[in-house]
A = this chain, B = another copy of it.
């Protein structure tokens, strides 16, 4: 059962903040968790149906879904489980690892585009941080923590590119056969 569905968790979490339609759940997830979570309609609608079946959510008169008491209990219990250790699959590192077959020039280009993407994210995170501060919701510390995670890791990526660029530019060790 290792790969229990975290879709349920994300949907219940979204509804715990605010009742919404299926469409609205997706929008909420994109707007708030977009940088580190993703759900598609093909997952959300069947999940909502299953949650309703289990009486964890209810559909109100407007067609919006509201989380029930049992739903909140279930949410708390799912949150308490250890986060699923996603099997690691980092496409960037796969390419760097085999970069000998890619060539130095392309490898350097890959590094640059990685750094550019990280810098773009940093700017976005900065905007999100300010938005959270302005709203001053009770959830603010938690939301802020997720954004800060993004900031720390984007900076780590940029620093890694700096170091790695130097490593790749040195002709000494990086000569391919």
Contacts and interface: CB of A to CB of B under 8 A. Distances in A.
Interface of A: 6, 9-10, 13, 16, 32-33, 35-38, 72, 75-76, 79-80, 82-103, 106-107, 110, 113, 129, 133, 138-146, 148-149, 152-153, 155-157, 159-160, 163-164, 167-168, 170-171, 173-177
A114 to B, nearest CB: 8
Contacts of A90: 36-37, 83, 86
A26 B146 CA distance: 34
Contacts of A97: 13, 32-33, 37, 142-143, 146
Q: Which 4 A-B pairs have the closest CB atoms?
A: A83-B91, A156-B156, A13-B98, A38-B87
Contact of A89 (B86, B102, B149, B177): B86
A174 B141 contact: yes
Contacts of A173: 140-141
How many copies of this chain are found per oligomer? 2
Given A33-B97, A36-B94, A140-B173, 19 more contacts: A6-B91, A6-B94, A9-B98, A13-B94, A32-B97, A33-B94, A75-B101, A79-B95, A80-B102, A80-B106, A83-B92, A92-B149, A97-B146, A100-B142, A144-B167, A152-B163, A153-B156, A153-B160, A156-B156
B36 A88 contact: yes
A81 B167 CA distance: 22
Contacts of A170: 141
Contact of A145 (B16, B36, B83, B164): B164
Given A13-B94, A153-B156, A171-B141, A37 B88 contact: yes
